[in-house]
Chains A and B, each alone.
Chain A
């Protein structure tokens, strides 16, 4: 049968960010997908030569507009590991709370985009209605809505007083109630199931071999979550990776729905046992050494590699973002799928292209 190449992206209604795929199709079936990325490359890794290691927190946080806080947190943790800075426990707890809030808002954003991608506009609006409440909590506690700006080397820049903790817990009640209403639709609605069940199945072995991370990996039944490493305050909180065994698009959606509730539980635990004390320590000197830091972003594991030679500018800075790790899996999913399923399959890995291109 004759083959046709259909260009998909970089500008496409279903894509929030630019990625280009050449879809080789036979009739309505995709035979192969050839990606090309690099449309929004900003050279942030090179900026370490211009910005000193303390200023660079602001750049690290701007690698991504959705998982911004965890980028900043990972960078700070990496520098703290090189310089052996004892971060106060309260700062660890606050980082955990804000990291989980950012996970909730990222997953809700994805649920909305997913609903939009499969043509369920009203569900998209409802997901983002709940997300707005989360953003308000983030703004009230950190001062920013998507760029939190509250993490710094040695601790955090803002504290949450007893009133703010009480308000956050009260708002979490409302958010959880609204969340359950929205996720019940995702998990039970027959039109959602028809669109997602059995589409893009990834076996546990395939997911592992292709180097998947985050919800894509966990939806295939592999319980790997970097939060179990126990960074920040996670070692003192109860959590187990959320997994599903089906490995299809519905499982990836279900994992994210369950992680929303897991994040709320983690925030409640963290705010329940947050210790009193300082929120930051003074940082003196310059970093010297090399470190690799891994944390769990909403999209999966992010790896930071830093090399410093004792000057105020880092020598080398490298980020391996979760979407970059999930792209091979996406190409595998696209092989043999129906052309109409392409938007759904691209969205199920939760592509964050600005992260990928840095």
Chain B
């Protein structure tokens, strides 16, 4: 039967660099492939509303007549459905998670 298993483990990690990072002095590096924030680039968007129909939480609202794209970040679950369905590649997912917000306002983009 092995003895002093915990002592050995504790001693090893007492002499090793901590596995945690010193946040916020050392910002977390996003992992490649992570589903972070939805990014909207309106240049190609034709306001077809497919993304809004596919959004499971109703975080997206698109008005074709007004050429308006509204994104409610607090409702978005970063599932990526809109990114997969977008026919014009106007939506993408970044690996970062953005900054905390102090308001519940949606982000509104107007097409030209």
Contacts and interface: CB of A to CB of B under 8 A. Distances in A.
B28 to A, nearest CB: 11
Interface stretch (A29-37, A74-82, A122-130): A122-130
Contacts of A184: 2, 5
A181 interface: yes
B31 A185 contact: no
Given A122-B10, A129-B19, A189-B6, A58 B56 contact: yes
A122 B79 CA distance: 36
A59 B6 CA distance: 41
A157 B80 contact: yes
Contact of A143 (B2, B3, B9, B35): B35
Q: Quick one: which of A51, A122, A189 has the most chain B CB within 10 A?
A: A189
Contacts of A164: 33
Interface string B90-111: 0001000000000000000000
Given A58-B56, A58-B79, A157-B84, A141 B5 contact: no
A141 B31 CA distance: 10
Contacts of B1: 188
Interface in B71-93: 77-80, 84, 93
Contact of A149 (B3, B13, B31, B35): B35
Contacts of B77: 58, 147, 149
B80 A189 contact: no
Interface string B1-42: 111011001101100000100000000000111110000000
B31 A140 contact: yes
Contacts of B33: 139-141, 143, 164
Interface of B, helix, strand, loop or mixed by DSSP: loop
Nearest to B19: A129
Contact of B31 (A136, A181, A182, A189): A136
A235 to B, nearest CB: 29
A147 B93 CA distance: 16
B9 A149 contact: no
A289 interface: no
B31 A188 contact: no
Given A55-B56, A58-B56, A139-B34, A132 B6 contact: no
Contacts of A157: 80, 84
Interface in A87-123: 122-123
A275 interface: no
Contacts of A55: 56
Nearest to B32: A140
A55 B81 CA distance: 10
B34 A140 contact: yes
A198 interface: no
Contacts of B34: 139-140, 143-144
Interface string A122-160: 110010010010001001110110010100000001000
A124 to B, nearest CB: 12
A188 B56 contact: no
A155 to B, nearest CB: 13
Contacts of B9: 126, 181-182, 185
Interface in A149-192: 149, 157, 164, 181-182, 184-185, 188-189
Contacts of A51: 56
A74 B78 CA distance: 22
Contacts of A58: 56-57, 77, 79
19 contacts: A51-B56, A55-B56, A122-B6, A126-B13, A129-B19, A132-B19, A136-B31, A140-B33, A143-B33, A143-B80, A144-B34, A147-B77, A157-B84, A181-B9, A181-B12, A184-B5, A185-B6, A188-B3, A188-B5
Complex A-B, nearest 10 residue pairs according to Cβ-Cβ distance, in ascending order: A143-B35, A55-B56, A185-B5, A58-B56, A139-B31, A184-B5, A185-B6, A140-B31, A139-B34, A140-B33
